[in-house]
Amino acid sequence: MNGRRLVWRIARLVEIRDETPSARTLVLQIPGWPGHLAGQHVDVRLTAEDGYSTQRSYSIAAPADGERVELTVQQVPDGEVSPYLTEELTVGDEVEIRGPVGGWFVWRPTGTAPVLLVAGGSGIVPLMAMIRARRQAGSRTPFRLIYSLREPGERYYAEELRLPHPGLDVTYLYTRVVPDGWARQAGRLTIADMNTGGWPAEFGPECFVCGPTGFVETASDILLAMGHDARAIKTERFGPTGG
Amino acid sequence: MGFVSRGFRGRPRDEGVKLPPGQYLVHDFPVLSAGPTPRVPLDRWEFAIDTEDGRTHRWSWQELMALPSETPTVDLHCVTKWSKLGTDWKGVSLDTLFADVESSAEYALVYSYGGYTTNLPVEDLLDGKAWIVYQFDGEELAAAHGGPARLLVPHLYLWKSAKWVQGIRLMNEDWPGFWETAGYHNYGDPWREQRYQGD
């Protein structure tokens, strides 16, 4: 972050895209935005008329594009901030944002090591920013994505991930409900899934794991058991709380 | 009156609870860490304090257990915005561990199994402000929460309370740790909302 101070900026919502019935992508226009790396997040601050204010962190879903910043927000039942962002906020409204935050869980297009992305549920968001950054930069770094979610209806970015991306392999794992004719039974991530959909440890991949705590613990333990270097496994966890 | 978010009301205010600015209350215990959870067997576990002139004081797990323990009840404030109040811990005060350590160093770099580091002034570790804890809520500390033992420095943001603590290096110069190098605040006082560099 180069010692730069993170200031609060006013962001204007310019576009909304529904990803699922309970998650939407907010495209924000933020004058003065300094740019960001794929994998970073922002802090969002809401302030009520009586001066009460509260903050949450959200991952950025797309690489830097001038003053445009995309967030995908999953509505948390009984949440305080996410229902406002997913239901109340409309195009033309403003929110306060500061960032980018986080210089560790990031992928740079200059990277040449193969990349393994392991997403649990809404943990796909910062990983999608990496996939989009790879495409934006014309990078040929081989990517593999393992995306675990309860059922097909919860997929984010479904249309975009259906398009062919040369050099990107996508594996979906469903834990509760599978599509008709799906070969793999519904179930949680296993070492067999990681063997099939991931990279061998000898390839020395950079691994990014993002999702709920239990998922991240399981996925990173599997990667360690497969012989991946602990220093090459970067994790980001979403607690069940917040929103 | 500055910026107002149109139509935002927020949760009912609990006037009885005072939280640091920008924090919200949780009742579970979220986990945050940058990499895989290291597992440290107790027979190989060791805690060390390294002084600025190269001497090292070491404690095995048995030696740590043999020291007088305390049971602090403290509030936790994570830089990711959640606060958890009234958490119960058991562990050894850093005052006890520093009793025989001769040092005039002003800075500490805490290091952990798995490679994590964080820095803070030595005075923030002393005078009943910090512990090496090994129990949470009456149970052995789970690995995901930093077990077998972690540092607990509750008056600073929780990233300073290094999980899987392995030792403390005392130094005459301040040396930024893992998150401090990645743009987070060098000191991290939640009541002054020192989240990031420059706050």
Q: What's the CATH code, domain A115-238?
A: 3.40.50.80
* Spatial distance between the Cα atoms of A222 and B144, rounded to a whole number of angstroms: 15
The predicted-structure confidence for B84-140, as pLDDT tens digits, reads as follows: 999 999 999 999 999 999 999 999 999 999 999 999 999 999 999 999 999 999 999
**Topology (CATH level 3) of domain A9-101:** Elongation Factor Tu (Ef-tu); domain 3 (2.40.30)
The predicted-structure confidence for B74-85, as pLDDT tens digits, reads as follows: 999 999 899 999
CB A145 within 8 A of CB A127: yes
The predicted-structure confidence for B138-147, as pLDDT tens digits, reads as follows: 999 999 899 9
Burial class of residue B146 in the structure, from the number of CB atoms within 10 Å of its CB (0-12 exposed, 13-18 middle, 19+ buried): buried
Which domains does chain B show, CATH number per domain?
Answer: 42-192 (3.90.420.10)
pTM: 0.91
Give how far Cα B18 sits from Cα of A53, B21, B75, B130, Å.
13, 9, 11, 22
Q: What are A55's strand-pairing partners?
A: A45
State yes or no: pLDDT of B30 exceeds 90.
no
Q: Is A192 on the interface with B (CB under 8 A)?
A: no
State yes or no: pLDDT of A127 exceeds 90.
yes
Record: contact A80-B2, CB cut-off 8 A: no
pLDDT at B34: 87
33-62 in chain A: CB under 8 A from chain B: 43, 45-49, 51-57
Confidence of residue A195 (pLDDT cuts 50, 70, 90): very high
CB B161 within 8 A of CB B29: no
Lowest mean pLDDT among A168-172, A193-197, B23-27: B23-27
Burial class of residue A156 in the structure, from the number of CB atoms within 10 Å of its CB (0-12 exposed, 13-18 middle, 19+ buried): buried
pLDDT at A1: 43
Record: contact A221-B24, CB cut-off 8 A: no
The continuous run of DSSP H or E covering A16 comes out as strand A9-20
Mean pLDDT of A106-122: 96
90-119 in chain B: CB under 8 A from chain A: 114-115
Shortest CA gap A182–chain B (Å) = 31
State yes or no: pLDDT of B29 exceeds 90.
no
Residue B173 DSSP class? S
114-173 in chain B: CB under 8 A from chain A: 114-115, 144
